[in-house]
Structure 1
Amino acid sequence: MNAPVTVPKAELHCHIEGAAPPSLVQRLASQYGDDVSSVLDGNGKYLWTDFTTFLKAYDTASAVFKTPSDYALLAETYFRMLAAEGAIYGEIFISPDHAQAAGLSYRSYVEGLATGMERAKNDTAIEGRMIAIGVRHFGSASVEKVVKEVIGNPHPLVTGFGLAGDERSGHPANFAKAFRMASEAGLGTTAHAGEFGGPDSVTAALEFLRVKRLGHGVRAVEDKDLVKRLADEDIVLEVCPGSNVSLGVYTHLRFHPINMLRREGVKVTLNSDDPPFFGTTLGKEYSSIAETFNWSPEDQIAVTRTAIEAAFCDDATRNRLLVRLESALQGADGN
């Protein structure tokens, strides 16, 4: 069964540069005289074949965003798209390293994104927050530099800190100091784990980074004791099924463990990761999972509730979002 538009949605795991619609990338590339023909086909789709070429396409497309107003346009475009699919809340991963490569200061990068998010919110009422990420394969010094930048330039919409990049590079112990600094500064924390790395990667993130949320985390399913731990400790998984299938972590959606994890009491959420690269959207994630595993509108609303409860936002915002969700649930019950 497809998710009705009335199901309010929430997203916790989306890389903002990876959410850039090909049409917007092409438009800015033309404006700046950049050549993106190697990563965009004639039908407005990104070209890549494996994880390495995906990263290359991602970096090439990201490079067309050069000014705060470019980033404002990107954020506004994405949050409007989310709202059009029924989302009431979205968190985006922001990459200070990408901003630096574009010659932007961290502050102007964040201000540009915030401007776009506010414009979308004014028209659609969608709430948004940002999670600054350090890149694992750049090493611990680089990741600590990102944390210091975030703490030194506070912004009300930057409420979290995370770790992304190549999961096979650098043990979580190397990043324990950065995460301690982030937590002490009051930032919510999350880390990518259990996507290309197995259950050990998930355990190490929990042990050394002390996170209550994990990006992906699905390969925990390979270890029964770890699944029980996730459920017992209320660890929330930011699950990205379409991304996992596109990148070959699972061969088909019906083999994806999200339903199994949920049945075992693990808290799961639905997310799009890098939507246009993987031919998905948040709405498509909800509808395809609902169809594959026969989730009712109430099941989907419960997943949205998990996301809102785990969101890196203030309690007043969270309570407002839960009220919106409650009214939708009453509508679903009345159907």
Structure 2
Amino acid sequence: MKGHNVRELPKVELHLHLEGGAPPTFIKGLAREKHIDIGGIFNEDGSYRFSDFWNFLKVYEAACTTLTGPEEFRRLTLAVLEESAASGVVYTEAFLSPDFCGGRDLGAWREYLAAIEEAASEAERTMGITLRGIVTPIRHFGPEKARETAICAAETAGDFVVGLGIGGDEKAGELKDFAWSFDCAREAGLRLTAHAGEWKGPEEVRAAVRDLGVERIGHGVRAIEDLALVDELAERGTVLECCPGSNVALGIYPGFRAHPISELDRRGVKVTINTDDPPFFHTTMAREYEMLNRAFDWDDGQFRRLATQALDAAFCDADTKAKIANLLEA
């Protein structure tokens, strides 16, 4: 199957940061409009410039300074969904951060969310892509701010806001410090995921399952270093939101062939394919499919199986799933 064109297959994505999906040209344009000087975050070719993961977080936050109101988030959402739809994505769940949408003030968050939802409806109508939101506290901002974020999530839970996650610097604090926020979201009927096992090892994946009770793990790939944990994840049916291109770009693995997604899949863990922060890591969902096809000789059947697995793990309602399932079968 080498070189087979897998770009055209319909795709489901579960791990995409909305701000992290912003095309650099979009952020540059906003900076120009607002006379904000963030030229230092771009390379000469116009791409984002950063040296490692912790520098990437700083660049990410600098890019977000251009997103100053709901209208900017409406435009951002359309720009991100246009990129995803061009890769064949028919359903996506994006991480949304009230930290960047009104500073965790509930009234402001509702306004930002309305703008994002308006853009999502337009994209569904014009591009054939469905978006749902996972509200995401930022770990290195600390547990107190995470509580405010969780309240924003709980108060706006519904058809569009379907989950709570946690992102940011995995080395900041302990996951158990955020248990209140996850309990709050669970009581509001939200589904749960957490970034773990990207920069910290298998123990962090265990902590996400044990201390936060999540059903999905963002990344989670370092679980491969503990085969007893791999067996446990397979048995529990815990879903990993794998982001191979991101892991390779940040130097966690030297290349796609060294990435554990195939081995985790072989050992019965439910893996999914995602882009994380695509323009930062010079990737798209189409490129992820192409690189995995080249690395592991995966064929249409394998990609369709993983897309169905991702849809099964999606946090949206049954009607939405049924609609997307028809698109995957088409």
Q: Which residue of 1 aligns with 2:287?
A: 284
* SS of corresponding position for 1:97: coil
Residue 65 of structure 1: CA displacement? 1.0
Q: Which residue of 2 aligns with 1:82?
A: 84
Whole-angstrom CA distance in 1 between matches of 2:155 and 2:103: 20
Q: Which residue of 1 aligns with 2:46?
A: 44
Whole-angstrom CA distance in 2 between matches of 1:171 and 1:49: 25
1:1-335 equivalences in 2 (<5 Å): 1=2, 2-101=4-103, 105-327=108-330
* SS of corresponding position for 2:283: coil
Kept in 1: contact 2:57–2:168 (CA 8 A): no
TM superposition score normalised by structure 2: 0.96
**What amino acid maps onto 2:93 in structure 1?**
E
TM superposition score normalised by structure 1: 0.94
Query: After the TM superposition, which of the residue ranges 78-87 and 93-102 deviates more from structure 2?
Result: 93-102
* SS of corresponding position for 1:277: coil
Whole-angstrom CA distance in 1 between matches of 2:226 and 2:241: 18
Whole-angstrom CA distance in 1 between matches of 2:52 and 2:68: 27
Q: Which residue of 2 aligns with 1:330?
A: none
Whole-angstrom CA distance in 2 between matches of 1:128 and 1:152: 19
* RMSD (Å) for aligned C-alpha atoms: 1.5
Kept in 2: contact 1:3–1:297 (CA 8 A): no
Kept in 2: contact 1:66–1:102 (CA 8 A): no
Whole-angstrom CA distance in 2 between matches of 1:267 and 1:52: 29
**What amino acid maps onto 2:261 in structure 1?**
I
Q: In structure 2, do the counterparts of structure 1 residues 194 and 80 end up closer, same or farther at CA, with 3 Å as the change threshold?
A: same
* SS of corresponding position for 2:165: strand
Kept in 2: contact 1:213–1:235 (CA 8 A): yes
**What amino acid maps onto 1:194 in structure 2?**
G
* SS of corresponding position for 2:48: coil
The number of equivalent residue pairs is: 327
Query: After the TM superposition, which of the residue ranges 74-83 and 96-105 deviates more from structure 2?
Result: 96-105
Kept in 2: contact 1:163–1:190 (CA 8 A): yes
Alignment deviations for residues 14-55 of structure 1 (CA, whole Å, 9 cap, x no partner):
111111001101111110001121001232200111122211
**What amino acid maps onto 1:264 in structure 2?**
R
**What amino acid maps onto 1:84 in structure 2?**
A
Residue 264 of structure 1: CA displacement? 0.3
Whole-angstrom CA distance in 2 between matches of 1:197 and 1:5: 32
Kept in 2: contact 1:14–1:273 (CA 8 A): yes
Query: After the TM superposition, which of the residue ranges 39-48 and 312-321 deviates more from structure 2?
Result: 39-48
Alignment deviations for residues 154-197 of structure 1 (CA, whole Å, 9 cap, x no partner):
45311110011111122121112211221121111100000001
Kept in 1: contact 2:246–2:281 (CA 8 A): yes
Instruction: Please identify runs of 4+ aligned residues in structure 1 that moved more than 6 A.
Output: none
Kept in 1: contact 2:196–2:208 (CA 8 A): yes
* SS of corresponding position for 2:16: coil
Whole-angstrom CA distance in 1 between matches of 2:26 and 2:5: 28
Q: In structure 2, do the counterparts of structure 1 residues 216 and 3 end up closer, same or farther at CA, with 3 Å as the change threshold?
A: farther
Kept in 2: contact 1:12–1:91 (CA 8 A): yes
Residue 245 of structure 1: CA displacement? 0.9
Residue 254 of structure 1: CA displacement? 1.1
Whole-angstrom CA distance in 2 between matches of 1:309 and 1:203: 22
Alignment deviations for residues 71-108 of structure 1 (CA, whole Å, 9 cap, x no partner):
11111111122112111100100111122359992111
Q: What's the % identity of the aligned pairs?
A: 40
**What amino acid maps onto 2:68 in structure 1?**
K
**What amino acid maps onto 2:23 in structure 1?**
P
Residue 5 of structure 1: CA displacement? 3.6
**What amino acid maps onto 1:64 in structure 2?**
T
Kept in 2: contact 1:191–1:215 (CA 8 A): yes
* SS of corresponding position for 1:191: strand
Q: Which residue of 2 aligns with 1:331?
A: none
Whole-angstrom CA distance in 2 between matches of 1:6 and 1:152: 38
Alignment deviations for residues 181-223 of structure 1 (CA, whole Å, 9 cap, x no partner):
2112111110000000100000011101111100000000000
* SS of corresponding position for 1:4: coil
